[in-house]
Every structure is written in structure tokens, then in C-alpha cells.
Amino acid sequence: MTHERRQDRSENPCLAGDLYLRAVAQRTGLEHLTLATHEGLLLAGAGDKDLGNRVAAVAPLYVEEPASLRAGLIDELTDGQPMQVWRVTVRDRPFYLIGFGTLTDMSEEVQDAFDRIFARPTPRAAN
């Protein structure tokens, strides 16, 4: 029996982000996905949350100042798997989507999904 991602939904943006990233990880074959803020905080993730927090913390340095990272740190975090980082924008702010495992291209659909998941709620009209 196949499990449809659309059955796993949430009104909570962070939980919705987790559910979405879990579906992306399964579809792409990535072992782990983390959506991190520019400041190094975990926003959403697929996989172990402790690992997600560590990955989120090093993502800004990995992208902006890779030479400042201790040699071998990324290999330790990813257990030797390749690490990829994609820049995404959420509410006009830069974020990093970090994945490790099989090298893959991330589709534009991912940015569109984050735009939907983390969009500002629309005000409800008064009756």
C-alpha cells in the first residue's frame, strides 16, 4: 500500500515543513534534509532532530566560510555521505536546505512548496 504525502498535512508551518521534507527525502533518495535559517537554526527537517540541529548550526559556515570549519567535521556529520546545500527564500529571507546522500538536483517545486507552507496567513473576512 502506498502512502500518499497529501494525507500527512498540518496547519502548523514547522510540522508541515517536516512532513514535506520527509516526502522530498523519500522521493530524491536523500538520507537527511534540514531547512536552516541564515543564523544556523533548524526550521524544519526530515530525519534525526539532533542531527538536524547540528547540521543547521554549521550550514551558514559551510556556505559562507568553509575554510573556518574543522577538517573532517562535515564527513563526521554526514557519516561520509556527500552534503549538498541549496539556497531558498522564505518570506523574503535567505535559508539553506541541506541534504546528504545521493547527489540530486532540487527542483523549483521545493521553493514553491516553502512559499506555500511558510506564507503569511491571509486575514479572514469579517462576517
Rounded to two decimals, the pTM is: 0.81
pLDDT band at 5 (very low <50, low <70, confident <90, very high): very low
Per-domain boundaries in the chain: 9-117
Which DSSP letter does residue 22 get?
A: H
What is the rounded distance in angstroms from the CA atom of residue 11 to the CA atom of residue 14? Answer: 9
Residue 124 confidence (pLDDT): 63
Beta-carbon contacts of 23 under 8 Å, excluding residues fewer than 6 positions away, are 5, 8
Say which CATH topology domain 9-117 has: Beta-Lactamase (3.30.450)
pLDDT in tens, 9-67: 677 888 899 999 999 999 888 889 999 999 999 999 998 999 999 999 999 999 999 88
